[in-house]
Structure 1
Amino acid sequence: MKKLDTIKKSFSSGFEAQIILRPHFVKKFMGIIVDFGGSDPQKLAGGAHFLEHKLFAKKHGDISHRFEELGANTNAFTSYNETMYFANFIDHSLQVTNLLFELVGTTYFTKENVQKEAEIIAQELAMYQEDPNWELQHQVLEMMFPQTNLALDLTGTQQSLSEMTPQILQEIYEEHYFAGNMKFVACGGFTKAEVREILEEVDKLQKKYLRPQSRPLPQIKPAISKEETQLEIPAEVISARVCIGIKLPDFKLFDSSNELMETIVEAYLEQNLGLMSKGFEKFQKDKLLNSPLAIKVNYTREGNFALISGMSPKPEELIEEIKKLIFNGKGDQALFEIQKKEYIAEMKRKLDQIEELAIESAEMMLEKEDLLKLVQRFGNLSFNDFANYYNEIVDKVEIFSAIMR
C-alpha cells in the first residue's frame, strides 16, 4: 500500500495532531478523539456516552447548529475504548476547527438538560434491552467480567441514568478530558498552506480550551470471572439462541499490537466457524445451525473477549462442537491467504473513504500504532506465525456460554 502523506505535530501539553493529505478530495474531515470509552471505570456507568451527548449543549443552544451554518455535519460516538467528536465539511476549515475545540473544551450542564437527556437515553436503553441478542450477550459478558462496565450497555443502566447530575457529569469530564488524553485528526484535500494554518490554530485552541494535566487515571485490575460458566435464559423465542464468550488474555503478553492480535484471533475463528469454513459446512450438515454464526473480537482496558452467537435447534450440541473448534480447529492456509488479500483490499478501500480513514487513524494514534504498518505486518505474516500466535493465545482463554429458549 502506498504510504500516506501525513503531517504530525506534538505539543508540550501532551496533545497531538495529525493531518492526512488526500489530494483531489473535495470532502474534508476533522475530529478529536478522547482516550476514554464506555467500558472504562467512571463515576457512573454510561457516563462516557452521556457526556458525549451533553457536550453538544452550550449556553446559547446546540452547537451542531453552528456547524450547519458553515455547511458542516457534526456527530460523535462512544465505543468501549474511546469517544470521538467529528465534522465533515468542504469549506471553512479554520471555523470548523474552532467549533470542534469549543465542542470538546466547554461544558454547559444544567439540572434540566441532564434530566431531559437521561430520559432520552433511558428510552434508547429500553429499546436495546428488548432485543434477545442484547440480553444473551450481556449475560455472557456478566459472567466473564462481573461488576465492570463491560457487563452493561455503553449507555449505562436505568439506575445510573436516573442518578446522573450536572456535578457528576462535570467530574467525569474533568477526569478524562485533558490535553494528554486527546488527539486531533484531519483528513482531506488540504493545501500545504491550509495545513500550516490549521496546525497554528490547533496550537492556540488546545492552549485555550484544554487543561495540560489531570489527576492520574485509576489503574484497572483484571476482572475475576464468575465460577458459573454456563447459563440458561428462559424466553419466548422461535428458535433457541446461543452465545459463547471467549475471555481472552492480555494481548500485550504476545505482541505490542492489540490490533494485530485482535485481527489474528478473529481471522482464525472465521477459518473454523465462519461461512467459508469446514466447521460451518458440518454444522449445516448436522442441522445444528439455522444461520451463519456472528463472530466479533474486542480488546478493551477491562479485558479482551470474543463473542460467537447464532440460532440452533440443538444448542447444547452446537456449543460443544464450537468449543472443540476453538481449541482444536486447524487453520486453513489457503483461506488465510484469501483473508490477507481481503484485509489489504479493505484497507485500500478505506484510503478513499475520508471519514473511515481518519477515524481508524485516530484510533491508531491512541494505540501508538501506525495503520499502514499494521496492514503490512498482517500482509507479511506467515501461516505458521499466524497459527502460533493463535495457539499461544487460546492456551490462556476461559469459555462461557448461554442458551436462550
Structure 2
Amino acid sequence: MSFRFALLVAGFVLAALNLRPAIAGVSPLLDEIMTDVGLTPAGGGAITTVMIVCLGVFGPLAPVLARRIGLDRTLLAGLLVLALGVVLRTLDGAPALYAGAAVAATAIAVMNVVMPGIVKQHFPGRVNLFTGVYSSAASAGAATASALMIPLERSTGYGWRGVSAMIALPALAAALLWLPQALGKQAAAQNGPRPFRAVVRSRITWYVTGLMGLQSLTFYVILAWLPTVFLEAGLPADQSGYLLSMTTLVQVGATFAVPVLAGRRRSQSGYVAAAVLLTMAGYLGLLVAPVTVPWLWMIVLGVGQGAAFGLALLLITLRAPDPTAVTALSAVAQSVGYVLAAVGPVLFGALRQSSGGWTAPLGVGMAILVVQLVVGWLAGRPATFR
C-alpha cells in the first residue's frame, strides 16, 4: 500500500467518523440541555429534528457544489462548516443552540450525499468494501459520541457546552488529512450531463429513498429517545446512556460486514428483510420487557439497524453507474429520506406525551418497520436507473 493511498483511506475514514457525533452527542446530554436552556420535552426533541430536517433539505446542495468544485473539495468544505456549527451550538441561548445545530447538520447533509460518490470515484473496484468501511466508521462515530459525552463531562468539569464543543476537534483533524485530496488533480469539478431527470423518473430511486428514509427514521427515534425509555422504565441515567452506546457500537460490525457480503450478491433483498426483522425484534423487546434483558434487545436492535443503514448506502452506490449519477441518486434518496425521518423524534415525543407511555410510540414504530420491509425488498432487487 502506497503512502498516498494510505493517506486517502485515513482521511476517508476520519471524515466518515464525523458523520454522526454532532447528532449522537445530543441524546446523553439532553436532560441537562433542556434544564439549562429551559426547553420542554418537545423542544428538546426538536434539536434532533432540526438537524434531521437540515439533513434532508440541504442535501441537494451537494451535487451543485460537486459540479462546481469537485467531490473532494466539497467534502473538505463540509468538515470545516461542521466544526463551525458545533462551536456555534454551544453559545448561550436557545437561538444559538438551534442555529448551530442547523449549520452542523447542513454540513453533515452535504457530506452524507458526497460520500457514496467518493466511494465510486476513488474505490470503483471495491465499492462493497469501502461502503462497509465508511458506514461502519459513521456508526463508530455515533457510538463513541454517545458513550463519551457524560464521562468527559464528569472528568473535565466543562459542562455540556464544553464537551459538545470538543466534537469540532475530529472534524478539523479530518479536514487536515483530507486536504491533499482536495488539492489533487482528481478534485476538479464534475463535468458531464446532469442525471437528475433519469434519477427521479426511476422507480428504483423511490424504493431506495423509502428504505433510506424509514431506516433513518427508526435510527433517529432510537437515538433521541432510547435513554428516556430506559429511564422511565427504572434504569439509572448512566446505564441508559451505556445501553444506547451498546446498540450504536453493535451497529459498527453490522454496517461493515453486511455491505461487504451483500455486495457480492446479485440481489440484496434477503439481507434487507433480515435487517428489518431484527430491528422489529428489538422494538418488540423494548415494548414487552425493556428492563428484563436490555442488553439483548440492544444487540438485536443494533445488528438490525446497522445492517439496514449499510444496505441503504450500498444500494445507492450499486444502483448508479458513475460518481455523478451516484451523487444525484444519493441527493434524492438522502434528502427525501431524511425529511421523512425528521418526523420520527417529534412524532414519538408527541405520542409519548399524549398517551403517557411508550406502548403507542413503539407500536407505531413496528408499523413503520412493516412498510420498510416492503420498500426494502423492492429496493434490493437488481436494477439500475436509466
TM-score in same-fold range (> 0.5): no
Larger Rg: 1
Q: When the two structures are superposed, what TM-score results if normalisation uses the length of structure 1?
A: 0.28
Q: Which has the higher contact order (CA 8 A, sep 6+)?
A: 2
Q: Which has the higher strand share?
A: 1
Q: When the two structures are superposed, what TM-score results if normalisation uses the length of structure 2?
A: 0.29
Q: Which has the higher helix share?
A: 2
